[in-house]
Amino acid sequence: MTQLILLIIEFFKIGLFAIGGGLATLPFLYDLTVTHPDWVNRSQLLDMVAVSESTPGALGVNMATYVGNIIAGPLGGVATTIGLVMPSVIIIVIVAKFLERFKDSTVVQNVFYGIRPASIGLIMAAAFVVIKEALMNIPLFQETGSFTDLFKIKSVIFGAILLICMMKFKKHPVFYIAIAAIVGNIIVF
Amino acid sequence: MKELLELYWVFCKMGAVCFGGGYAMLPIIEAEIVEKKGWAKKEEIMDYYAIGQCTPGVIAVNTSTFIGNKRAGIPGAIAATAGFVTPSIIIIMIISSLLQNFAHITFVERAFSGIRICVAVLIINATVKLWKSAVKDKTGLVICIIVFVLSAFTPLSPVIFIACSGIAGYFIGKWKGAEK
C-alpha cells in the first residue's frame, strides 16, 4: 500500500513537470532509474517505449502504465496512471475557468517561452541515454580503448537505414518496430 | 449520470483507436466530438490543443479533460479522462505480463534487440521534429543546449530545469517587452 501511494506521488510529480506531450515524460522516467534503481532499469525503459509506441493510447499514459505494472503489478499500473493524469485534470479544470485570460496572458507566454526549449533539451538528454544503450558499447571501449569498439557497427548501420526510411516514408511507428523485430532475428545484434 | 457514462464511453473508444497520442489524436477527436457529437466547435478543439501543449501533462489527456469539463464540469473531466486511459491500462497490462513471461525465449530476445535500435531511432526522429517546433530563436537555442548538457552530464532532476527555465523565460520576456 505504501508503495502504491509512493508511485502515485512520483507520477504526480512527473505529470506536473512534463510539459509538451508524451515524450516529455521520458527524461523523468530516466530520472526514476537513478532515484529508484530498485523499481526499473534502463533497458526496461527501452522495451517500455517500444510497447507504448506500438499500442493505442497516449504515449505518456502508456509509458506510465507500463512502468507501474513492472514495479507493482496491475494495481501499480493503475496507480501510476492516476498519478500522471491528476495534475492535468486539476490544472485544466482551473485553466478552463480563465480560458481567455490564460491564452492572452504575457506572463504565461513568457514562462513557456523558457520552458519549451528546456523541455526539448531534456528530451535530447534522454535520447542521448537511449543512443548510448542501443548503439554504443562503452564498457568494451573502456577496456580496449579502440574507437572501432565504441559503436556497435551493425546496430548503427541498421539504425541509419531506419532513420532514412522514417524521414522519407512517413509510416506508422508500429511498421518500423515490426520490421526491426524481424531484422533482429535475421541479423543477431 | 447518463451523460457521464456517455463521456466515459466516447473517450474510451477514442483511447482504443488513437495510436501515438498527441497530434495523431486530433483528426479522431474532430470526427467524434465536433462532427458526430457536436460537443465542441473545431476552433475550440484547436484552442484546447494549444493550451494542452503548454500546460503540464499528456496533451491528449489535457484535451479530454477540457471537453469533459465543458460538458459536465469536474465529474465530466474525470469521466472523460478515465475513459481515455482505460484502454491503455488494459492493453499495456496484458502485453507487459506477456512480455515478462516470454522475454527469455530466443526469438523474443532477438526481436527486442532489433526493436531497441528502432526505438532509439524513433526517439531521434521525434526529437528532430519537436526541435523544429520549439527552438525558434537564439535564446531558445541557448536554453536548450544548457539544459541538454546539464541534464546529460549531471544527476540533477528534470524538475529543476523546468522550474528554472520557466523563471528565466519570465524575466527574459519581461526584459524584451521593456526594450520595445
- The tens digit of pLDDT for each residue in A62-91 reads 999 999 999 999 999 999 999 999 999 999
- Considering chain B, what percentage of its residues have pLDDT values greater than 70? 96
Q: Which of the listed residues A135, A158, A173 is the one where a domain comes to its end?
A: A135
pLDDT the model gives residue B21: 58
Same structural domain, A110 and A48: yes
Mean pLDDT of B113-119: 88
Mean pLDDT of A102-126: 86
Confidence of residue B22 (pLDDT cuts 50, 70, 90): low
d(CA A13, CA A87): 8
Q: Three-state DSSP class for A114? A: helix
d(CA B79, CA B44): 20
d(CA B26, CA A124): 25
Taking all residues of chain A, what is their mean pLDDT, rounded to a whole number? 88
Same structural domain, A70 and A155: no
Same structural domain, A12 and A22: yes
Q: Three-state DSSP class for A56? A: strand
B105 shares contact with chain A (CB less than 8 Å): no
Residue labelled with grid coordinates 528546456: A118
B45 shares contact with chain A (CB less than 8 Å): no
pLDDT the model gives residue A170: 77
Minimal CA separation from A71 to chain B, in Å: 11
Confidence of residue B142 (pLDDT cuts 50, 70, 90): very high
Same structural domain, A46 and A128: yes
- Contact status, residue A152 vs residue A189, Cβ threshold 8 Å: yes
B75 shares contact with chain A (CB less than 8 Å): no
Q: Structural domain of residue A52, as residue ranges?
A: 2-135
Q: Mutating which of A88, A90, A155 best tests the B interface, going by the most B Cβ atoms within 10 A?
A: A88
Torsion, Cα of A95, A10, B25, A122 (10° steps): 90
pLDDT per residue as tens digits for the range A115-145 = 888 988 988 888 888 888 888 888 888 888 7
pLDDT the model gives residue A172: 77
Same structural domain, A93 and A163: no
C-beta atoms of A58 and B60 within 8 A: yes
Same structural domain, A77 and A127: yes
Same structural domain, A47 and A131: yes
A169 shares contact with chain B (CB less than 8 Å): no
- Reading the block at residue A170, the C-alpha cell is 512517413
Residue labelled with grid coordinates 474525470: B78
- Considering chain A, what percentage of its residues have pLDDT values greater than 70? 100
pLDDT the model gives residue A173: 79
Same structural domain, A30 and A40: yes
Q: Which of B59, B92, B147 sits opposite A65 (nearest CB)?
A: B92
DSSP code of residue A136: B
Residues of A in contact with B91 (CB under 8 A): 55-57
φ and ψ at residue B103, rounded to 5 degrees: -60, -30
pLDDT the model gives residue B23: 63
Residue B45 above 80 pLDDT? yes
- Contact status, residue A28 vs residue A17, Cβ threshold 8 Å: yes
DSSP string, chain B: -HHHHHHHHHHHHHHHH-BS-GGGGHHHHIIIIIIII--S-HHHHHHHHHHHHTSBB-HHHHHHHHHHHHHHHHHHHHHHHHHHHHHHHHHHHHHHHHHHHHTTSHHHHHHHHHHHHHHHHHHHHHHHHHHHHH--SHHHHHHHHHHHHHHHHS---HHHHHHHHHHHHHHHHHHHHHH-
Same structural domain, A19 and A61: yes
Same structural domain, A129 and A141: no
pLDDT the model gives residue B1: 83
Residue B136 above 70 pLDDT? yes
Candidates B98, B24, B65, B139; CA nearest to A116 is: B139
Q: Which of A155, A163, A182 sits opposite B124 (nearest CB)?
A: A163
Same structural domain, A158 and A111: no
What total of structural domains would you count in chain A? 2
Q: Which of B51, B107, B145 sits opposite A121 (nearest CB)?
A: B145
**Helix B158-179 vs helix A26-35: crossing angle, to nearest 10:** 140
d(CA B70, CA B172): 35
Better pLDDT: B180 or A17 = A17
End-to-end CA gap in chain A? 41
Taking only Cα atoms into account, the Rg of chain B, rounded to an integer number of angstroms, comes to: 20
Q: Which of B92, B144, B170 sits opposite A121 (nearest CB)?
A: B144
C-beta atoms of A93 and B89 within 8 A: no
d(CA B9, CA B86): 10
Mean pLDDT of A23-38: 89
DSSP code of residue A189: -
* Residue at B115: amino acid letter: I
> Which residue in A has a C-alpha nearest to residue B65's C-alpha?
A89
Same structural domain, A182 and A127: no
Largest CA distance in chain A: 62
A23 shares contact with chain B (CB less than 8 Å): yes
